[in-house]
Amino acid sequence: MPSQEGFGTDLMAQNVIVPVVDLTQAAEGSQVSENLQTAIAFGSQTTFDVKNGNSAIITNTGFWRIFGTGSVDRSSATNRSIIFQASDSFSAKDVWQLQVEASNATNVVTIGFDFVFFAASGITLNAIADSSCAIAGSVRQIADVNGALVNPSGFNPQ
């Protein structure tokens, strides 16, 4: 046949290439689904609690899961906020913020948060709480700086 010119022989069964696509989790290099890999674990968590101040909560490179709650007391004549701020020692950038406008109301605004933050070399993530504000939560590294997953402490996939 004209389409076989140059091959020298007829295409036979042993010349057929059959692609095999393996879509299992083992083939993708992970033994654990994402929701299990990011699980809370006794030896993996670092808690934080910031009131009326700031604290560096991430100082190492990698991908980090940060979750918890923040609260702001509205009974003030000034705006108040809770902030997660990334810093490289030269400048700072707010990456998450809750700001509550001043009010004479005597109530507290509370919000939950759960996000993943990537810290490159030299980056620090700070939790900042204004006066009468609080941020409390937990952080856990879920992958190193190259994206290799970090399993929960004590878990050894089979």
* pLDDT tens figures, 85-119: 999 989 999 999 998 887 766 688 899 999 999 99
Q: Where are the beta strands (DSSP E) in 15-155?
A: 46-58, 62-73, 80-87, 92-100, 108-119, 124-143
User: Whole-prediction pTM value?
Assistant: 0.76
How many domains does the chain contain in total?
A: 1
The answer as to whether 11 is a domain residue is no
The answer as to whether 92 is a domain residue is yes
Q: What range defines the domain where residue 48 resides?
A: 41-143
Cα diameter, the chain: 90
In whole angstroms, give the CA distance from residue 140 to residue 70.
18
In whole angstroms, give the CA distance from residue 41 to residue 10.
61
The answer as to whether 148 is a domain residue is no
DSSP 3-state of 26: helix
The answer as to whether 56 is a domain residue is yes
Strand partners of residue 128: 54, 83
In whole angstroms, give the CA distance from residue 135 to residue 72.
9
The answer as to whether 15 is a domain residue is no
DSSP state for residue 152 in the 8-state scheme: P
The answer as to whether 7 is a domain residue is no
* Tokens describing residue 91: 């400048």
What's the CATH number where 106 sits? 2.60.120.1010
The answer as to whether 150 is a domain residue is no
Question: Which pLDDT does position 28 carry in this prediction?
Answer: 55
In whole angstroms, give the CA distance from residue 62 to residue 117.
8
The answer as to whether 94 is a domain residue is yes
* pLDDT tens digit sequence for 16-38: 666 666 555 555 555 677 778 88
